[in-house]
Amino acid sequence: MSAKGLGTPATRAAIIEGLLTEKYLIREARDLTPTAKAHQLMTLLRGLKVNELVAPELTGEWEFRLAQMQGGTLARDVFMRDIAQMTQTIVSRAKEYDSDTVPGDYVTLETPCPQCGGIVKENYRRFACTGCAFSITKTPAGRQFEIEEAEELLKNKGIGPLSGFRSKMGRPFAAALKLVEDHETQHLKLAFDFGQENEDEASEAPDFSGQTSLGPCPKCRSRVFEHSIGYVCESTVAHPKSCDFRSGRIILQQDISREQMQKLLGAGRTDLLTGFKSSRTGRHFKAYLVQQKDGSIGFEFEKKEKAGRDGKHS
């Protein structure tokens, strides 16, 4: 490849620095190791059959033709026609796929689905169960899971803290991740854990002696108290723990006041709450929170004709 190499030694160093900055590579002592992000890009390019950008030889070929053009042995318009054609081919191949169907050499996780015990497979963007609707993104907050991390997350329903995440503002942050139940879909979903709930086995059970209970737990009839960032059954935070009932103080951007929690625990339902916002669709909605048969909390929506009369949501 001497005549068809990639760049000059000077530009090569800059290329490698660029790959490090963009987190396609990490430097460990004297080694450069490709990251999951790099593998994902290669998977995409291979899946799209864009071999020109995957194989250094083929990229070197273009450099060689550039040199030929410089030396006058290749006409400029031939070069330009060929490179325009290649670009068109790449773009049209990329358009054939949506992000979930990009073919690739994907992994089947060894750990079963934490929701249903089914087989979880990797696709271009997600790890998805083949047996139920459980799936998680491969790149939460801009950081891509390594396969071993995904295995650990599914096995322990949590991992971390891990560093290397980026906020929407671009600030780096570290956090643990956990799988928590989505109140709306009843499915496990991925959530960041910044450690506000210190309820691991080592921590002490909270003391509720100065507090008034909001009502009986829908699951075990023990007392429910306000705690940390929500409401919790005293048996959920006791050691040993014998219940798992808890509810957020804020559910889908709707503040759940003590008064509403008392109604939910006492009468089995809240008033109509108007400030929910679906995290999936971004739409606002109104709903009652109601106790389900199994003691969990679910939504109940307004009757249809009323919603029609109200017109559009705020």
Which residues contribute to the site for Zn ion (CB under 5 A)? 113, 115-116, 118, 129, 131-132, 134, 217, 219-220, 222, 233, 235, 243, 245
CA distance 128 to 17: 34
For residues 83 and 116, which CB has a smaller minimum distance to Zn ion in the complex? 116
For residues 120 and 273, which CB has a smaller minimum distance to Zn ion in the complex? 120
* Least separation in angstroms between CB 77 and Zn ion: 56
For residues 113 and 175, which CB has a smaller minimum distance to Zn ion in the complex? 113
For residues 35 and 247, which CB has a smaller minimum distance to Zn ion in the complex? 247
CA distance 148 to 282: 32
Using the structure block, give the residue that is written with the tokens 């030396």. 71
Instruction: Using alpha carbons, select from 295, 260, 254 the residue that is nearest to residue 275.
Output: 254
For residues 115 and 144, which CB has a smaller minimum distance to Zn ion in the complex? 115
* Least separation in angstroms between CB 76 and Zn ion: 57
Is-contact 144 138, C-beta < 8 A? yes
Strands (E), the chain: 25-28, 31-34, 120-122, 126-129, 135-137, 158-166, 172-181, 188-193, 215-216, 223-227, 230-233, 246-248, 250-251, 254-255, 273-277, 284-291, 297-301
* Least separation in angstroms between CB 279 and Zn ion: 20
* Least separation in angstroms between CB 121 and Zn ion: 11
Is-contact 234 246, C-beta < 8 A? no
For residues 243 and 256, which CB has a smaller minimum distance to Zn ion in the complex? 243
* Least separation in angstroms between CB 132 and Zn ion: 3
CA distance 9 to 2: 12
* Least separation in angstroms between CB 114 and Zn ion: 8
